[in-house]
With several copies, the nearest count.
Chain A
Amino acid sequence: MGRKILFVTTDQQRYDTLGCNGGAIARTPVIDGLAGEGIRYERAVPASVVCMPSRSTMLTGQSPRRHGVWMNGVPLPVDAPSAAEVLRRVGYRTALVGKPHFEPFLDPFGRFTENRLARLGVPTVDSLGHDGLVGPHRGFEHLEFATHSSAGQLHYARWLAENHPEVIDGFYATLDRDLEVNADGGGATGAPQVKDNPVPRDWYHTDWVADRTIDWLDALDADDDWFCWMSFPDPHHPWDPPESELGRVAWREVPLPEGYSIDRAEREAILDAKPRHWRQWYDGQLVSNFEAPPSWVPATLTADQLREVTARNAVEVELIDEALGRVLAAIAARGWADDLDVIVTTDHGELGGDFGLLFKGPYHVDSLMRLPLVWRPAPNSGVAPAVVNGPVGLVDLAPTWCAIAGVAPSPWMEGVRLPVDEADHVDRHPGRVITEWDSERFGVTVGLRTITRDGWVCTVCMPGSVHDGSEGELYRLDDDPLQRENRWDDPALRSVRDDLVADLVDSLGPVTGGRRPVEAPV
């Protein structure tokens, strides 16, 4: 019998929302406890700051330029390599419960497997893997899906429709009637993507994901090894947690984020020192991507709206922490506690008011790039608690799962096993993480390439319909932790910049083949 792997992801969660990372709004005792017993990563960086590319990187252990999911809406090929399949082949039982998003959700033709599965009423379907062998979809024997919405084709929406149809309309409509990200406001402040949701907590997707996970685990044999990806849709907007829970955080008393300048002139001066897409979006002049409501103008965000959004986000984080606690209890009840590895992370962050912005987009700063990451190795593995300060990537997850399962990482995996402490990082980790942004939206193209290394974050804006290729960003993390001062054009740092850009270009390697087409906005 080997180690069991519970891989927990949330969606769009900021680093600073966890107590173990210094967060003071949400209470997250379960994750904090795992961090205390395990390894907490101070700088975990995604390969992309949007869902589909980032999740594809987790599953494949590859960068977006290699797995090809270069923006949301580009499906990960069914025959892409899958770390879950690697584990399954060495005997692991495998499941993914919650939000998948390797394929577009908006799919009226029902072309994509994620959308087909719930309709078919089967736990998985067989398909051809990257090596020509047939296996369950992406290596998962059991798939049960939820997303942020009570509508759609996935299991959670169908379960609600069948069992609790009366609560469906209580959820926020994530898309408006034009199928764009909804800008409608709610709550006390009219903040976008906020709604009071009368759904009972038990029927909310966070608890549903935990329940379905527990059900799957309960059906396993006691001596099964297993890999379970439990994927919570929250705290991604909409911010419509069960209204019974809103009292957990008094929004009027929530402090404004450090990254938010209440002084408008100061806020705008900071934006103006960054590449033009920052200010253009803030002013409502540019909608470059599908990840935020296109008709919402960030400059209209009020301090109170930000407080209310922050509070609701924290409520959602607490619910996740508690749901995770229930799952861990269930696992313990099965007698697996000593063999259990838990990894908790997210796919990318949330602007969360930094620079006056919400949601996400082509903004490679800590708001979106500094992620919560905790690895609590199985107690019986004897790994000591640690904090790792050096940068690691989500690309490192797949080799980590392999290491836990005792199999060699596959040759197509680009990362390395997560370091177990700082010394291990220095020894084995390349010390740089690359983050890529590419988007196309009706002819508007934006591309960013970012390297995180040695306490610097350096971003090159690729030529496109917004940038001419000359712009970029350079931040020194230790003396500018909020990335308020763009030092790209600082002559004193020219050699630092040149060195980082050269390393970035080197690391990107040759681009092969054309881009696969976008199939849907999300």
Chain B
Amino acid sequence: MTTRASVRRERRIGRPVEVVWEVIGRPDLLHLWYPGIEACEVRGDVRTITLATGMTLEERILTLDPVQRRFQYRVTGGLFQEHLATVDALDLGDHTTLAVYSTDAAPATMALVLGGGAGAALDELARQLEAATGPAVDAVRAGPHPSSAPHANHAEREATS
């Protein structure tokens, strides 16, 4: 019996929610703020990430919702019996943001390990945003990824049957 677990990490970031979402809402920039992810390629709703250990993971982007400011992806390819990552930017109404990175996974151990990575990622995200500089913040400033222009809503379509 494989157990599942859910691990949530959060950081309050001293920047407005729109600014935080500019980074979180760019799936192609994850490697610029997630320690241990060295590269990141997005094609349609498939993202391939390369870890510092050399491992590559294929992910399906499930949700990229600028209204809720919620980004979700799922690692595909059999490593997990269950996986769902959710990144939220929550407006606290005082020009600060609560960034929340959740991992649901089976095996449970992987939720814990990915949770650790997510915590480190939020630390780095907060560091860059509050300093208003850093690789991810600079990349956002350089303009959108060609594929992230106003677009149709393919992202939330996922075959589940």
Check A466 against B116 for contact (C-beta < 8 Å).
no
Most buried by B among A153, A276, A287: A287
**What separation, in Å, do the CA atoms of A519 and B2 have in the docked complex?**
20
**B 46-82 to A, binary, CB cutoff 8 A, 1 in contact else 0:** 0000011101000000011111101000000000000
Instruction: Tell me which residues across on chain B come within 8 A of A111, comparing CB atoms.
Output: 35-36, 52, 116-117, 120
A521 at the interface (CB under 8 A from B): yes
Check B150 against A442 for contact (C-beta < 8 Å).
no
**What separation, in Å, do the CA atoms of A464 and B150 have in the docked complex?**
8
**What separation, in Å, do the CA atoms of A463 and B73 have in the docked complex?**
26
B147 at the interface (CB under 8 A from A): no
Beyond A111-B36, A465-B151, A517-B119, whether A442 also contacts B113 by CB under 8 A is: no
B110 at the interface (CB under 8 A from A): yes
Beyond A106-B109, A178-B3, A180-B107, whether A443 also contacts B67 by CB under 8 A is: yes
Check A153 against B67 for contact (C-beta < 8 Å).
no
Mark out the residues of chain A between 384 and 403 whose CB falls within 8 Å of any chain B CB in the assembled complex. Answer: none
**What separation, in Å, do the CA atoms of A466 and B108 have in the docked complex?**
20
A440 at the interface (CB under 8 A from B): yes
A520: nearest chain-B partner, CB-CB: B113
Check A178 against B63 for contact (C-beta < 8 Å).
no
Check A108 against B3 for contact (C-beta < 8 Å).
no
Instruction: Tell me which residues across on chain A come within 8 A of B67, comparing CB atoms.
Output: 440, 443, 445, 465
**A 110-150 to B, binary, CB cutoff 8 A, 1 in contact else 0:** 11000110010000000000000000000000000000000
Instruction: Tell me which residues across on chain A come within 8 A of B1, comparing CB atoms.
Output: 295
A177: nearest chain-B partner, CB-CB: B107
B37 at the interface (CB under 8 A from A): yes
Q: Which of B12-20, B131-139, B152-160 contacts A (4 or more CB under 8 A)?
A: B152-160
**What separation, in Å, do the CA atoms of A7 and B116 have in the docked complex?**
32
Check B156 against A442 for contact (C-beta < 8 Å).
yes
Check B112 against A443 for contact (C-beta < 8 Å).
no
A79 to B: closest C-beta gap in Å? 15
Q: Interface residues of A toward B: which range?
A: 35 or more
Interface SS of A by simple majority: loop
Check B110 against A109 for contact (C-beta < 8 Å).
no
Instruction: Tell me which residues across on chain B come within 8 A of A518, comparing CB atoms.
Output: 112, 115-116
CB < 8 Å A-B pair total: 112
**What separation, in Å, do the CA atoms of A310 and B12 have in the docked complex?**
51
A517: nearest chain-B partner, CB-CB: B119
Beyond A110-B52, A116-B52, whether A179 also contacts B63 by CB under 8 A is: no
B9 at the interface (CB under 8 A from A): yes
Instruction: Tell me which residues across on chain B come within 8 A of A512, comparing CB atoms.
Output: none
**What separation, in Å, do the CA atoms of A67 and B120 have in the docked complex?**
19
**What separation, in Å, do the CA atoms of A285 and B53 have in the docked complex?**
37
A441 at the interface (CB under 8 A from B): yes
Most buried by A among B53, B110, B116, B120: B116
A268 at the interface (CB under 8 A from B): no
Instruction: Tell me which residues across on chain B come within 8 A of A521, comparing CB atoms.
Output: 109, 112-113
A258 at the interface (CB under 8 A from B): no
A286 at the interface (CB under 8 A from B): yes
A127 to B: closest C-beta gap in Å? 14
**What separation, in Å, do the CA atoms of A70 and B58 have in the docked complex?**
34
Instruction: Tell me which residues across on chain A come within 8 A of B42, comparing CB atoms.
Output: none
18 additional contacts (CB under 8 A) given A445-B67, A521-B109:
A107-B53, A107-B113, A110-B51, A110-B53, A111-B52, A178-B106, A179-B113, A285-B152, A287-B153, A288-B153, A443-B155, A465-B66, A467-B150, A468-B150, A517-B119, A519-B113, A519-B119, A520-B112
Nearest 3 pairs of A and B residues by beta carbon = A109-B36, A443-B65, A519-B116
Show 27 A/B contacts (Cβ-Cβ < 8 Å), sorted by A: A106-B113, A108-B36, A109-B36, A109-B52, A109-B53, A110-B52, A111-B36, A153-B53, A178-B106, A178-B108, A178-B109, A180-B109, A285-B152, A294-B3, A441-B153, A442-B63, A442-B156, A443-B64, A443-B68, A443-B155, A444-B152, A466-B150, A467-B150, A519-B120, A520-B112, A520-B116, A521-B112
